[in-house]
Structure 1
Amino acid sequence: MTDTSHAERLTGRCLCGAVTFTAVPKHGMHACHCENCRRWTGGVYLGVDCGDSVEVATPEAVAVYDSSDWATRSFCRACGSTLFWTLKGGGLTAVSAQAFDDPSVFAFESEIFIESKPDNYDFAGDRDRMTGEEVMAQFAEGA
Structure 2
Amino acid sequence: MKPSDATEFTGHCLCGEIRFRGTFDDSHGLNACHCSQCRRWSGHVWAAILPKSMQIEGEPKWYRASDFARRGFCGTCGSSLFWQRDGSDIIDVAAGALDSPTGLKLLGHIFVADKGDYYEIADGLPQDPRE
TM-score, scaled relative to structure 1 = 0.79
Structure that is richer in helix per residue: 1
SS in structure 2 at match of 1:45: coil
What amino acid does structure 2 have at the position aligned with 1:57? E
Please list, as runs of the form range in 1=range in 2, the aligned pairs for 1:99-110 lying within 5 A after superposition.
99-102=97-100, 104-110=102-108
Alignment of 1:1-143 (within 5 A): 5-26=4-25, 27-51=28-52, 53-58=53-58, 60=59, 62-90=60-88, 92-102=90-100, 104-132=102-130, 135=131
Q: Provide structure 2 residue ranges, at least 5 long, that are not aligned to the other structure.
A: none
What's the % identity of the aligned pairs? 38
Deviation at 1:121, TM superposition (A): 1.5
More strand by share: 2
**2:9·2:102 contact (CA, 8 Å) conserved in 1?**
no
1:140 maps to none
Letter of the 1:9 counterpart:
E
Give structure 1 stretches of 5+ with no counterpart: 136-143
Count of residue pairs brought into register by the alignment: 127
What is the TM-score of this pair, normalised by structure 2? 0.85
Separation in 1, partners of 2:65, 2:44: 17
* Greater alpha carbon shift after TM alignment, 34-43 vs 19-28: 19-28
Task: Answer whether contact 2:71 2:83 (CA < 8 A) is retained.
Answer: yes
Moved over 3 A (4+): none
